[in-house]
Structures are given as structure tokens and as C-alpha cells.
Amino acid sequence: MSTPATTAPPPVVAPPPTTRRIPIWAMIAAVPALLLFLAVLENVTGAHDLTSSGTIAATLVATTPIMLAGLGGLWSERSGVVNIGLEGMMILGTYGAGYFGYHYGAWAGVLGAIMMGMIGGLLHAIATVIFGVDHIISGVAINIIALGAVQYLASNTFVGLPGGGSTQSPKIPDVPTITIDSLSNKLGDIEDNDTFFISQLASLLRALCTNLSSLVLISLGLLILTWFVLWRTSFGLRLRSCGESPVAAESLGVHVLRYKFVAVLVSGGLAGLGGGVLAMVASSNYRDGQTGGRGYIGLAAMIFGNWRPGGLLVGSGLFGYTETLGLRQGGTSVHALLLAVAVLALALALNQLRHGDRLAAVVIGVVGIGLGVVYFLIDEVPGDFTRMTPYVITLIVLAFASQRLRMPAADGQIYRKGSAG
Amino acid sequence: MTPRMTKFVLAISAPLLALAAAFVITSIVLAAAGDPVLDVWKQILSMPERRNVANIIDNAMVLYLSGLAAAVGFRMNLFNIGVDGQYRIAAFTAAVVAGEAWLPGYLNTALAIICAMAVGAVWAGIAGVLRATRGVSEVISTIMLNAIATALVAYLLRKASVRVEGSNAIGTKVIPEGSRIPNISIGSGPGQEIYGFVVIVVLVGFLYWFVLNKTRFGFNLRATGRSTTAATASGINITRMVVLAMLISGAVAGLVGLPILFGDSYQYGSTFQSGLGFAGIAIALLGRNHPIGVAVGALLFAFLNEQSNPLQILVGVSPDIVAITQGTIVLTVVISYEIVRRYGVRLEQQAVAKALVPEPREPEEANA
């Protein structure tokens, strides 16, 4: 600092909060608000699959693996280790579920998935934490190794089993699902009534009490547990301090490397469980290429969620929902979404104009009008484009949200013991 | 040993150490799975036949381009994971342009190559612009763009394609004979030819070296990769550099599929080779982003791929074992470079300490 030490220190001003914390009541109110929005959209466009209980149930199943991968990313990056190897750890998880699930039963499959994921995590931890390898390099290597390893293992262990082969495992037994019969039927009646908003509410509740996989529930529990451990315990505070400023953490007596090691292991276990959910809930056996890049998407969901559990849930939900729409009557549903995005874009453009950002307003406005025109010109979105939807939406959302995000300050930096001096 | 010799030995020992480690780890995996370890290595390390050599060189060419595309980004600290999407959308474009044959003969080829590079550059440029103006991590955006490219190419292929004779596969129009790039023979007999595209590949390798190491632009790029703050201080426009680096990386990625297109398949179909992009990342890491190093890495990967092909038939082991070897090599290379670097630093420190110790040691001992 070149300022002379004699000058009076500037008045202490509290730094403006970087992100406004969303109050808890707003988060709870968001669910019915979203339902209302979709109900209006359904009525306007006539796309009836937007909020059917089937769609919502499928969304839950599609969201869970992505959320688990994102949770894995959260643990790892909060401790300062970038984990692009999530994809590989998920792949290992799908195999673990297939092998242990077939031989020793459903819950063994779940444990097997977690364990295989942790092996990937262990590899990443050894490379990045102990040997100080660049985090992305290690992650890429793990993705290559994991893919090769499961293909090799599958052709060694699944060939010759009933229904198994070098690219898929035999059928895995199911984990228990939860159904409340009477409630489910009653809600089904209300859903079929087509009353505005009430039906949508009923279909949401119906999806929650019909064939709800216990793994989905456990995963949601893990999300809450993660929030509690990382933000409400001293262990979590220390872990996050390793991601923000390892030097400061070590000078206060935190075993930085040990915390990072544990965080990456947990990260691998969560991603592995995500792979397990893919194999056991979203499908009924291990298949080659089952993850389809969901590990990366989980990472994107976590970044979208600003490295926080709540945001991560919203991000993975958005992805799971658009993915589900693309798979079920994709043409009409995604067509309806076009209108929604067009309206949202125009609203955003007006907002930008109010803030005096003329250029952004024009660009967003033109995009909005363009989407609106496309909506009225075509009746259905071609299948290839519906499959693209989740990726395009992720890209757009990141383009708008990225500048408000703040990642852990020392994320991705290589830390060597004793750097605190 | 002279210091120069020490430096050379250290530089050589890192990759050797890495290979040895990968060899040991793969052997352990094989043994653990109960597969015949010795037979596998006997096959992989056997002398390839002339026909296989040609295949190795062909495969290496493609991997080399993919590796260089990733390396351009790495030099600037940009992780272009999207080579996969870029090369597929570019190869598709080239196939359509060349198949339509608007221009005669090699003019058509040149136009197709330029179009491929432009499309690859634009696809990567999206990620570059998002990174430079909106701060979106290029790792995430290129992965999203990969998935989008897959769906887009599938859609366009269905629109622009003709049915391949005698099968259900679809593909673009076949490139006319005058616009194909003739293969070069490396022996006598069938199958002993390599893609004529090799000339362009070598040229790209040279240009990579020249532009990065001998031009001001290359210096700026490397400087930005080393330290953005220092680069900004010396007047480099970082935003512009990010976009430019992504454009170049994408343009090189656009070339990846072309040796196959102009030398073998002559059309882009649903069976066009995929997954070349991720291998390129590994190869760039392996070759330390050096044009010769990347070439060695590409040859090594191609060698492993080709030699492992008959494993299933000959010894009943899945050739996927080689992917484990390849991934392990990437990891062990980085680790062994780090170990060797630390060792080298220690050697230097010892040498310096020895040189600094004053010859007459009495006063020091007196102090002690």
C-alpha cells in the first residue's frame, strides 16, 4: 500500500451484500407460484402434459441423479477441489449398482454404487490433494479410466448372466417404493377433473404419494443433511474455510489436506449414488453410456445454484423437468415452453429497459419476439430439438446468471501443506 | 554429469516413469480380474504389421489434430472440452459442402475444409463469447454445446441425407471422386496406405509451433495463460484473447474429422467415428501442449488402440482394458512430471548450496 500510515483510516462501511438471501417463505411460496404459472400456460397452449402427475413423478426421478452429482460437486468445490470427474464417478456408481445389486440385493446395490463412486473419489483425492495434480486434468483422467474400467469389468462379470452382456447387467431388484393408495386414487380423481390450479396441485401431491422411490426420498434427505453439515456444524465451517482460504484455515489449526481429502471422498460417494439411482430407479439395470453426461450437468446445476444446496436443487430440477418434457410428448410440451420463454424474455427486456440497459433490452427483446414467432409458426417441436432443450436452457440460464455467482475463493487452486508458513 | 545432461535425463525420465507406472497398474487390474497378464502384453507390445502401422498412423493423425485443438486452449488456461461437438458439426458441414460439389475438383475440397474450420470456430466461439462477456465457465458451456451439437447434427443429417445403399444407415451425399484426397502408400499391397491429409496435419503442427512460439500473438496468448493480471498490465486485451483462442481452438477442432471424411468414408453418416474429442484432451495433457509431444502422445494412443483390437479374439480379454491404461497414463504423466520437477528443484538447491558454502570452513565451525 502506498498510502501513508498516518492518514486516518477510512470509515468502516459494511460491504454491500453480494447476493440477496432469499427468505425462507419466498422459497416455500415459489412452488405454488410455479404451479400457477404452469397451470396458466397449460390453459393457454393446451399442452396437457406440463403438470400431469406422470410428468412430475418422472421429473423427480430425472432430477435426483443430477442433484446427487451436484451435491458431490458441492462438497468437493466447497473444500476447494474442482471435480470434473463426477461423470466418471457416476459411471462407476452405475456399475456398482448393477454388480452388487444383482448379486446381493437392492440395498447392497445402493451401497455398491456409493462404494464404487468413492473409489473414483479416492483416486481424485490422491491425485489432487496429495500429489497436487491440476484438478481438471485429474478429473478428465478419471472420466477416461472410469469409462474403460466399467466396460472392461462389465464384459468380465456380466457376460453369460441371464439378461446380462458386455454392455448391460442383469435386472437389479427394486428398492422399495412408497404408495399411499387411498390418497393417490382420490387425488387422481381431482387431477382428472381439470379444475384450474386445483388439478395441478392434486397432480403434484399425487406424484409424491404414488410409487415414490425410497432412494429419491433418501437423496432429498442427503441434500438437507449436506446443508446442515456444511452450514450448521463446525466441521462444515472448517471444510468451507479450506475452499475459501486454505492458508487462513491452516494457520488456525485446520488440517486442510485432511478436510479436502474427506470432502472429495464424500463427493465421490454422492456421485456414485447418483449413478446408482440412474441404474436402479430411472432404469432397472446397468447399461453402457447410461450417465449421458449427467455428471457434467450436475456440475452445471451446482454452478447455477451458486454453490449452495437450495440453488442446486432448483438447477437440477429445471434440468430434470425440461429433460422429462422432452422425453414425454416432447413436441407439444416444449412447444408450450417456447411461449413461456418468449413471455419471460419480453418481461426481462422491459426490466432491462427500466434499468437503462438499452442494448441488453433490445437483444433479449428480439430473442423473445423471435421465439414467439417460432411458437406461432410451428405446431410441434421436432424430436431432436426437444432433446436439446435442457442443455440450451442451462446455457441460457448460465449466460444470464453467471455474473451474480460467487464460487469459493480458493476453488481449483492447488494447496500444499505448509503454505501458511 | 553436466547440468545440461541432468536436465535432459530428468526430462526423459518423467514420461518413462509414467509409462512404467501405467504398465504396472494395468497389470494389477488384469491380474485382479483373473485375465492372462502376460498374453495381453505380448499382444499389445508385439511388432505391428505394415497394415496395422498404416492404421496407427491414420488414427494418430486424427488424434493429433484433436490434441492440438485442446492444446491451443490449454496454452491460454482455457479448457475446451467441446472439441467433440466442434469436430462433429464441422465434419458434417464439410461433408455437405463437398457432397454438393458447387466447385470443381480440389477447389471443392478447399472450400469444404474452410467451411469446416469456420463452423468449428463459430461453435467454439459461442463458448468464448459467453466466457469473455458473461463469465460463463467454458468447461460447462462447451459440454452443453457438445450435447446440442449431437442433437443438431442428428436433426440436420435426417434433413440433408440420402440413404446409404443396402443398409439402414443414412449419410450425406458422397463426395465426388475428383474432390477426394488420395491416400499415400507406405508399402506394397492393399491396406498399406495412409491418408493424404497427413500433409495438412503436419502443416497444422508446424503452424501451431510457429504461431505460439515465434509471433507476438503467440506470446500474448501464452502470457495470458500464465497470468491474466500480468497480461492486463502489459496491455493485452484479455476479452479479445479469450475469444480468439477459442476461435482458433475451434478451427483446429473443425479439421479433426476431415482425414476420415476425405480419405476413407467420403460421407458423413450416422456411423461416423465419435469420441475423438475427449481423447484429444488426454493427448494434449500427455504431450504437455508441445507440438512434438502431442504427436508422440497421439501415436502412443493410436498404437494402444490398434494393438488392443484383436485382444478379444486372441486372448479373450476385453480391449477396453486399454482405456484404463490410457487414463492412467494421463494421470501418472502429470504426477511423475511433478515428482521429477520437485526432485530437479532439490538437485538445483543442493548445487547452489554447495557453490555458496565458503571454501575455508573454519570460521563457521568456530561459531558452532
pLDDT at A49 over 80: no
Let me know if B135 is exposed, middle or buried by CB neighbors in 10 A (0-12, 13-18, 19+): middle
Residue B147 to residue A143, Cβ atoms within 8 A: no
Nearest-CB residue to A151 (from B136, B318, B334) = B318
Residue A166: how many other CB atoms lie within 10 Å: 16
A296 touches chain B (CB under 8 A): yes
Nearest to B335 among A133, A303, A394 (CB): A133
Express the helix, strand and coil content of chain B in percent, nearest 5 each. 75, 0, 25
CB A322 within 8 A of CB A115: no
- Which residues in chain A have Cβ-Cβ distances shorter than 8 Å to B289? none
Query: Residues with Cβ < 8 Å from A69, sequence gap 6 or more?
Result: A86, A87, A90, A270, A271, A274, A294, A295, A297, A298, A299, A301
Window 132-161 of A: residues touching B by CB (8 A cutoff) are: 132-134, 136-138, 140-149, 151-153, 155-156
CB count within 10 Å of CB A242 equals: 26
Chain B residue numbers touching A394 (CB-CB < 8 A): 140, 144
Q: Are A86 and A73 in contact (CB under 8 A)?
A: yes
B321, closest residue in chain A (CA to CA): A152
**In angstroms, rounded to a whole number, what is the distance separating the alpha carbons of residues A330 and A317?**
17
Distance CA A60, CA A177 (A): 13
Amino acid identity for residue B153 in this structure: V
**B152·A296 Cβ contact <8 A:** no
Q: Which of B81, B146, B308, B330 to mutate to test the interface with A (most CBs of A within 10 A)?
A: B330
pLDDT digits (tens, 9 = 90+) for A115-152: 999 999 999 999 999 888 889 889 988 998 999 899 99
Higher pLDDT residue, A250 or A363? A250
Average pLDDT over residues A408-420: 80
pLDDT band at A1 (very low <50, low <70, confident <90, very high): very low
Find the largest Cα–Cα distance for chain B.
94
**Cβ separation of B135 and A385 shorter than 8 Å?**
no
Please judge whether A152 and B328 are an interchain contact, meaning their C-beta atoms are less than 8 angstroms apart. Answer: no
A10 pLDDT above the threshold of 50: no
- Categorize the per-residue pLDDT at A6 as very low, low, confident or very high, splitting at 50, 70 and 90: very low
Beta bridge partners of B193: B185
Residue A271 has pLDDT above 80, yes or no: yes
Dump the DSSP string for A26-59. Answer: HHHHHHHHHHHHHHHHHHHH--TTTT-HHHHHHH
Return the percentage of chain A with pLDDT > 70, whole number.
Answer: 93
* Residue B8 contacts A where some CB pair is shorter than 8 Å: no
Joined grid coordinates for residue B260: 476420415
Residue B359 has a pLDDT of: 63
Per-residue H/E/C for B268-337: CECCCCCCHHHHHHHHHHHCCCCHHHHHHHHHHHHHHHHHHCCHHHHHCCCCCHHHHHHHHHHHHHHHHH
Name every residue whose Cβ is closer than 8 Å to that of residue A332 and which is 6 or more positions away in sequence: A45, A46, A47, A49, A380
For residue B281, which residues of chain A lie inside 8 Å, CB to CB?
140
A151 to B323: CB separation less than 8 angstroms, yes or no = yes
Show the CA angle centred on residue A162, arms to residues A160 and A163, nearest 5°. 100
pLDDT value at position B362?
56
Question: ipTM of this predicted complex?
Answer: 0.83
Range of A67-76, A164-173, B162-171, B254-263 with top mean pLDDT: A67-76
- Please name the amino acid found at residue A294: R
What pLDDT was estimated at residue B207?
95
- The 8-class DSSP code of residue A212 comes to E
Q: What's the pTM?
A: 0.86
* Secondary structure (3-state) at B125: helix
Q: Pinpoint the alpha helices (H) of B33-137.
A: 37-44, 50-75, 83-100, 105-129
Is residue B329 within 8 A of residue B18, CB to CB? The reply is yes
3-state secondary structure of A104: helix
* C-alpha B321 chain-centroid distance: 20
Cα end-to-end span (Å), chain A: 22
Tell me the count of A-B CB pairs closer than 8 A.
Answer: 139
- The segments of chain B whose pLDDT lies below 70 read 1, 163-168, 359-368
Q: Compute the residue count for chain B.
A: 368
Alpha-carbon span A176 to B119, nearest angstrom: 50
